[in-house]
Amino acid sequence: RFRVARPVLAMALVLTLLGLWDERSQAFRRIENEPLLPGLVAAIAQRPGEVLWLDGRAETWLALGRPSWITNLQGASIVFSRPLAMLWSDRIDRLIALGLATEAQRRPFAAPVPPRADDLPAGAVATLCAAPDGPAWIVVPLREGQAPPDGARVFPLTDPSVRPMATVEGMGWQRVTAYGLLACRA
C-alpha cells in the first residue's frame, strides 16, 4: 500500500506547492498581469525619471518598472527611513495643496473623504512640473466620459480597468477607460 501511496502523496504535495508558490496579493497580480498599452510604456521609456501615477498604488513600479514619484506605500516610516518618509510627507503635502491628491492618500485607512476632482486644477500640473524635484511623467487615469487634461496624450484601454474604492457613501467602483500621459521635464 505504501508503494501506491507515496507517489500519490508526492504528486499531491507537488501540486499543493505549485498552487501556493505565488504569494503576491490578488491586487498586485492583477496590476502585473493587466496588459498596459504598449504605447504608454514606450512613451514613458523615452526618458528617465520618476512617474507620478495619480490615484495609483504600485502601478508605476509593477507595471512600468519605474520609480514612483509618490505612493502611499512610501509613507510608512516603519518600513522606510525617516528621511524618505519626510520627503514623502513633503510631496503629499504639495499634491494635496495643488488639488492633485486628497487626505485619503495621506491616511489610506482613515475615514473616507471625497475623491480628487476628475479635472486637474488649473496650473497645478505646471507648478508641480516646475519644481526642481518634480516628476518626469504624470499618468492620469481617465474615467468614462472624463476629458483628458490639456496637452495629455491619451491611451484608451480595450477593456476598462475596474477596482473597488472607499467613498464617503460607502464602497464604490473606479472604472478607468483610458490613461492620459503628461510630460513634465524635457
Average pLDDT estimate for 118-133: 91
Query: In the chain, pLDDT over 70 holds for what percent of residues?
Result: 83
Average pLDDT estimate for 11-27: 77
Predicted TM-score (pTM) above 0.75: yes
Q: How far apart are CA 105 and CA 98, in angstroms?
A: 14
Q: Could you report the per-residue pLDDT of 138-175, keeping only the tens digit for each?
A: 999 998 888 999 889 999 988 888 777 777 777 778 88
Q: Could you report the per-residue pLDDT of 74-97, keeping only the tens digit for each?
A: 656 566 778 888 888 899 999 999
How does residue 73 score in pLDDT terms, banded at 50, 70 and 90? low
- pLDDT of 165 reads 75
How does residue 34 score in pLDDT terms, banded at 50, 70 and 90? low
Contacts (Cβ under 8 Å, ≥6 apart) of 112? 104, 166, 167, 168
Q: Could you report the per-residue pLDDT of 147-157, keeping only the tens digit for each?
A: 999 889 999 98
Give the 3-state secondary structure of 98-165: HCCCCHHHHCCCCCCCCCCCCCCCCCHHHHHHHCCCCCCEEEEEEECCCCCCCCCEEEEEEEEEEEEE
Please report, as a single letter, which amino acid is at residue 169. E
Q: Which residue, 103, 71, 98, is CA-closest to 87?
A: 71
Residue 30 has pLDDT above 70, yes or no: no
Contacts (Cβ under 8 Å, ≥6 apart) of 40? 139, 155, 179, 181
How does residue 102 score in pLDDT terms, banded at 50, 70 and 90? confident
